[in-house]
Amino acid sequence: MKLYKAYAKVNIFLKITGARGNYHEIISRFMRVDSLYDELSFVAKNRDDAFKIIGEFSCKTEQNTIYKAYIALLDSLDETPAKSLKNLMDKYAVEVKKNIPAFAGLGGGSSDAATFLKMCNEVLDLGLSQNELALIGLKVGADIPFFIYGYDSANVGGIGEVVEEFKEELLDFEIFTPKIEISTPKVYRAYRENFYNPIDGFKVEKLKKTPSLDILKKMSADEANDLFKPALQEYKELKNYYKYGYYFSGSGSSFFRVKERKQ
């Protein structure tokens, strides 16, 4: 069956704008990474009726974002399309060729879940709009709506549900990911306890209008990403990997920079 690409993303900047209960509201520029993606496909399986994911994952199926997306989609459908979805997953497994590292701030799990939702929508002809898919995805993870919309670049706000396309040229990135498994909730908790300093509305509007390349020229790694300092505090070994001129994606552990163009 058809192969679907689930692309990685980097956060050009990530600033905290406030808090909403236990969640942090953000403003961030997400940019797709064309050179790094997982590959998903439906493959026939022996009819054992259990939802099956084939791929290198360290978590149980029930903890996988793809499975969570399946449950969220199932819950949102009427009886007839829900039955079609169950029949599909009885006959087929989801095969995932993993290239995006986990716990890396590159959105691999979210991108896989978003791609799975789009695959089901297409294969079963469910007729769900991007907005409807994004709302289903949001129940699973805050980054999923960005991947549903498939923009090259977007300003992402709220807790991830506000996705506004930002028209600019896609950049080519050099990325390296230390083998450090970072817990996003732990980093956000450290931010709230020790670094809480939300950005004001004027700065938000300025950042939203500034091209990504300009941001990367003007800001340092910790200026661009409010989670860099708390991540360094909680995972001191990160210091050993940071190189000048690189930026920090999400809550880490990946560092990235724009590839230098060959003359």
141 is in an annotated binding site: no
Active site residue 262: no
| Measured CA distances, 108 to 5, 96, 119, 191 (Å) | 11, 11, 16, 23
Q: Which is nearest to 112 in space by CA: 59, 148, 161, 82?
A: 148
Q: pLDDT at position 42, please? A: 97
Of 38, 112, 143, 226, the catalytic one is 143
Q: Is the pLDDT of residue 263 over 80?
A: no
If pLDDT is split at 50, 70 and 90, which confidence band does 22 have?
Answer: confident
Q: In which region does residue 205 sit, left (phi positive, over 0), alpha (psi from -120 to 50) or beta (all else)? A: alpha
Active site residue 152: no
Q: What long-range pairs does 86-93 form, CB within 8 A, spacing at least 24?
A: 88/42, 88/120, 88/123, 88/124, 89/51, 89/52, 90/47, 90/49, 91/44, 91/45, 91/47, 92/1, 92/42, 92/43, 92/44, 92/45, 93/42, 93/43, 93/44, 93/45, 93/52, 93/53, 93/54
111 is in an annotated binding site: yes
Residue with the bigger pLDDT between 181 and 260: it is 181
Q: pLDDT at position 58, please? A: 82
Q: pLDDT at position 59, please? A: 85
Q: For the chain, what percent of residues have pLDDT higher than 90?
A: 86
Q: pLDDT at position 3, please? A: 95
107 is in an annotated binding site: yes
- Alpha-carbon Rg of the chain, whole angstroms? 19
Residue 59, number of CB atoms within 10 A of its CB: 12
- Sequence length of the chain is 263
Q: Is the pLDDT of residue 64 over 80?
A: yes
Taking residues 29-43, report their average pLDDT. Answer: 97
55 is in an annotated binding site: no
For residue 175, what is the enclosing H or E element?
strand 173-176
Q: Is the N-terminal amide bond of 253 cis, ω within 30° of 0?
A: yes
If pLDDT is split at 50, 70 and 90, which confidence band does 261 have?
Answer: low
Taking residues 34-47, report their average pLDDT. Answer: 94
Q: 167-224, pLDDT tens digit by residue?
A: 999 999 999 999 999 999 999 999 999 999 999 989 999 999 999 999 999 999 999 9
Lowest-pLDDT range of 8-12, 55-59, 106-110 = 55-59
Going by the DSSP 8-state scheme, the letter that residue 129 receives in this structure is -
Of 9, 15, 68, 118, the catalytic one is 9
Q: Which two tokens stand for residue 174?
A: 């050099």
Q: Which is nearest to 103 in space by CA: 257, 250, 232, 246?
A: 250
